[in-house]
Structure 1
Amino acid sequence: MAYWRSLPAEIRSIILEMVAEDYNFNSAPYAGAGYASVCREWQPVFEQRNFRRLVLDQERIPGLDQFMGIRQLERRDYLEHLSLRVKLDEYDCTVCQSQEGDETMRNNSNIFSRAIWNLLIILSKWTRISRGRREKRSILELGAYSPSDSKHTFRDFHLEHGYPYQEREDLETHFEAYRLRAARLGLDSLNDPYHGWVDGRRDVVSLESKLRIMGTLTINLDLPEFSTFLQTFPKVEIITGLLIPRQFYRKIAVSSLRKLLRETFTCLRWIRYEQWHHVDPQQQLRLEKDYKRLISSDLPSTLRDLSIFEDFNKHLHPDRLARSTNRALAKALSKTSRSLEHLSAAFLVDAKDFLADFWPTKQQDPNIVPWENLQTLALTSCLLHPEVGRRKISRLLMAAGLAAAFMPKLETLEIWNGGEGHACLFRYSRNAGRPQITWSSNWGRRERLLHDDVVHCWEALLRQGRHPSSDLMTAVTRLPVSRKKVKTYAATLRYLKLRHNIVDVISDYQIHWEE
């Protein structure tokens, strides 16, 4: 240490930064904590990294209060992202291909309920302004899984305990963990017929196996812990962003989400809700009715950024494309979104339903409430498909133009779709005052894909003065992906400007590798 102190302060600072930058998920466990304990000079350098993002399960929650209590206010200032990943009980092969029973569901919900409650009690004691220096804003990420979920029919990497990707920096420096894992396990030779794996390929997956990992967790208000507080959840001001990632298949009951939004997370600025389409059609319909109630009445008034992403794949949802979207839910979202600045809704609703009030053949309501603050909008539509008539597609794009007239601050709008053999997107952007509409797809003849009626409609938007600027630019391009190589919507997702408004950066990476 005497030699260390003899170095110039600038050299010591450079060394500390190099050590901090070199630390990653492949480093020795808790090495970061060890660096912070060397001396007082090292402590703030490493603690602001160590406490920037914390990942907890229910067993680590008490430590949060211990290490970030009233005597460690500086550490609270460092915290930007808090991830609660509730660990449910394990199960074996005697039940792995059957739906969870009532007792197991109750037990899992109780584990989840206690974890949520214990965390909220701690966070409710934290104020938004720490020591009067600045308003502190933090993200809370919620998810639940059983360690057994990745050991039976589903061998998904992101469900494993040692899944390495925790933050953006991990992707930038160690981006091949999926490939390395496949090589290590020899997945090409995986042969486990009992769990549906034959020579490295997943065979038919039973409905019961799907339901096993897609259980629903409900906050149990009958637990003794809640009775003391009259079943009212504590208010948490420190959390201004809520992330529920696609990484976990299990759902949080909509009734529980509604309670959290009404009573606890009343200061939210943004919500990113990534869910999986339910494998049971009847349960999916019930969920959509619940989502409509949540969207209609329970979104916080402080909310400015909302992203809803409904995921699906061919193993879980072989018949997903045959399902129609919920029109009532889309209309509720359209109505509720008028105060937002950023909105993305993928697959759960369709753009044609969201824009139903602006359909060219419909008489417009003279009392339409504008989206006064909306800057970005991303929607999906089943109409963007090579088998859909060009007239229907044109009407959708004209409806988007008519709606944009009521979005004076709109910078970027993207309507997109993708699936087996097809990828397509329509974009309106206004960069440096130059508006442009772009049609991009991997199908059809270019000269016929952007109808004159669509161009005239968007030009009229500029003439109305809502978006004062120069002449409208148009472009028709071909996405550089062949129809034979396109397997999922991921082929389109990678070409969207609003890509990271639609899914979290970690989720985006998972989707890329799963494709």
Structure 2
Amino acid sequence: MSSTTVKSASRAALPPEIQLLILELLSSDGCSLAQFATVSRQWQTIIERRNFERINLTLWRIPDFGHMTRRNRALVKYIWLSLELSEYDCFTCGARNMNRNGNLLPNRCGADECIIVTAMRDLFLTLSAWEPQGDLKLDISIHSPSDSQHWFKYLTFGPDTLPHSQVTPSQRVDPEHGWNAGILSSAPTELALRNVFAEVLGRPGAIFFNKELECEWWQTLPEVPAVTSMLLRLQNRRRWRPSTLTYMLSRLPRLEEFHYEPWRAWSKGGQNVTDLAYCSLIDSLTSRTLKKLVLFENFDEQYSSCFAHCDDMRAPNFWVGQAVAKASLELEHLSASFIIDAGHFLDAVKSEWNWSHLSSLTLTSQLLNPQENPDRINNMLEAAASTALKMPKLKTLEIWNGRVGLAALLRYQLEGIGRTVLSWKATWKFALQPHVIKAWEAVAHANHSHLLVQEFLDETISVNSHADAINYLELFKVLRPISLQQILAAHEMRREGPLAERRWRHTT
């Protein structure tokens, strides 16, 4: 008997749970498991499931993707398409004065658009051949390697998993870009911010110089019924136009989940145009098979100070709130943070509306702040209870707010048979009025449940960003966990040093 046969027989003699532990240890050690697939048929099955469950794709790997997964398509549950755009230098980022107010180089722009168009075409052509087999999540990211090499050294890019790699201190010594002794002591240029927040496929002179041409191009792509979930995470600082997303999503006829984490626009005019386009995008979702919609419009209160005509916090648009309210009628789960205001959502509700499927609803409201009239807050929370009566399957409703210096949350939670909790948690004093509690008692009674009211106050907690508020309020489903980690990491790096925040705001 050969030594290989003896070793294989020895492994086969091990209990299955021990073999699994061995594989776990090998995997956690960063070891490639492919070489162990020949040990046994059981190991091959386990290793193939691990190797094919999550696929990372680049532009250059797409042509081989179909052949690579032909035998194991049913094992693929998650595809991360990571597109790297062209690198750029300090003239483009605005660190050198001769180009602080200049434009991006046209040839680089054209090359970047070719990368995106080619990748989307090749990916959709490849995936169109896949038969629907359970859930398949498509995660798309676009960035330039240079983004984290100039002003934004705290940016990280990776798949939708935790933990995530962090920036080392040695990378944070770059006085030309404001990094001194590991501390960001000066703000990035407006050009640097506009560069990383540029539109995808939306620049003047681009391949799609008008929406009609772009719409025609998307319609040439085949439908992809295998994809059931789409992720566009906030590490995509480059902005997809909502109209582009409308065309893209139209090619995914079985989409059940959409996680969309755009950044706010950095001017009032730009935000008005974006909000108008949001309405069309959200309206396009109402006739879909969508069950879960998670919207999280990210922002950075420090970035806004770098732009000449930008408010610290943008004002939500009523019509976007109305569009989201209408789209929610057929959903099972909705979370919409900062992109709309809960007050607008509630004001848009019509008397004949009913949410026959909705089990969870999470919204933000700028009314939840210590400077607001308490009566207005209580009236809004009472209106939320009236709307909740139209949601017979509702188990959780949350209305919250968070930014530098404040966090607040009203949560209605059905915790089991006969028990429902209405809780108020905040960093400032506020009292729920009796008429509000009575309104929520009616909701609990409709669910054959008793209402327990709880209030939590912590005026000492430090809230340095909306991410801190999310942690404090335990709202871990309003955005992807890796996205929350990225916000926290960026703010932590910029807070290092006692004067970092103040310097940041006064050096533009």
State TM-score, norm by structure 1.
0.84
1:132 is aligned to none
Aligned equivalent of 1:514, options 463, 468, 490 = 490
1:76 is aligned to 73
Q: Please say if 1:87 is aligned against 2:84.
A: yes
Partners of 2:407 and 2:463 within 8 A in 1: yes
Spell out the pairing of 1:35-434 with structure 2 (5 A cutoff): 35-36=36-37, 40-69=41-70, 72=71, 75-97=72-94, 99-128=103-132, 135-159=133-157, 166=159, 168=161, 170-171=162-163, 177-178=165-166, 181-183=167-169, 185=170, 187=172, 190-192=173-175, 194-199=176-181, 200-218=183-201, 220=207, 231-262=219-250, 264-299=251-286, 301-318=288-305, 320-357=311-348, 365=350, 367-433=351-417, 434=419
Q: Deviations over 1:32-68 (max 9, x none)?
A: 3333366655322211101110111101111211211
Per-residue deviation, 1:423: 1.2
Letter in 1 for 2:362: A
Spell out the pairing of 1:450-489 with structure 2 (5 A cutoff): 450-463=432-445, 465=446, 467-470=447-450, 472-479=451-458, 482-483=460-461, 485-489=462-466
- Structure 1: gaps (5+ residues): 129-134, 359-364
Supply the distance in 1 between the matched residues of 2:21 and 2:230 (Cα, whole angstroms).
32
Letter in 1 for 2:380: L
Letter in 2 for 1:389: N
Supply the distance in 2 between the matched residues of 1:371 and 1:315 (Cα, whole angstroms).
39
Q: Deviations over 1:412-446 (max 9, x none)?
A: 011111122111111001111312211111112xx
Q: Deviations over 1:360-394 (max 9, x none)?
A: xxxxx5x4211111000111111111111211110
Supply the distance in 1 between the matched residues of 2:103 and 2:359 (Cα, whole angstroms).
43
Per-residue deviation, 1:13: 3.4
- Partner of 2:290, secondary structure, is coil
Per-residue deviation, 1:186: 6.7
Supply the distance in 2 between the matched residues of 1:5 and 1:436 (Cα, whole angstroms).
56
Supply the distance in 2 between the matched residues of 1:392 and 1:23 (Cα, whole angstroms).
58
Supply the distance in 2 between the matched residues of 1:85 and 1:99 (Cα, whole angstroms).
25
Per-residue deviation, 1:453: 1.8
State TM-score, norm by structure 2.
0.85
Per-residue deviation, 1:136: 2.1
- Partner of 1:285, secondary structure, is helix
Letter in 1 for 2:246: R
1:131 is aligned to none
1:27 is aligned to 30
Identity between Structure 1 and Structure 2 (%): 29
- Partner of 1:321, secondary structure, is coil
Letter in 1 for 2:296: F
Partners of 2:147 and 2:155 within 8 A in 1: no
**1:37–1:513 CA distance, 2 compared to 1 (3 A):** farther
**1:61–1:19 CA distance, 2 compared to 1 (3 A):** farther
Letter in 1 for 2:409: L
Aligned equivalent of 2:20, options 17, 21, 24 = 17
Per-residue deviation, 1:12: 6.2
Partners of 1:274 and 1:311 within 8 A in 2: yes
Q: Deviations over 1:150-195 (max 9, x none)?
A: 1111113414xxx5xx454x43xxx7x43xx434x274xx241x22
Q: Deviations over 1:207-237 (max 9, x none)?
A: 1110111111128569xxx999894221101
Letter in 1 for 2:137: I
Partners of 2:138 and 2:231 within 8 A in 1: yes
Partners of 1:105 and 1:217 within 8 A in 2: no
Supply the distance in 2 between the matched residues of 1:56 and 1:43 (Cα, whole angstroms).
23
2:499 is aligned to none
Letter in 1 for 2:460: S
Supply the distance in 1 between the matched residues of 2:144 and 2:381 (Cα, whole angstroms).
44
**1:228–1:452 CA distance, 2 compared to 1 (3 A):** closer
Q: Deviations over 1:97-118 (max 9, x none)?
A: 2553454333322210110110
- Structure 2: gaps (5+ residues): 95-101, 492-508
Supply the distance in 2 between the matched residues of 1:280 and 1:106 (Cα, whole angstroms).
25
Supply the distance in 2 between the matched residues of 1:96 and 1:214 (Cα, whole angstroms).
12
**1:250–1:20 CA distance, 2 compared to 1 (3 A):** farther
**1:26–1:90 CA distance, 2 compared to 1 (3 A):** farther
1:362 is aligned to none
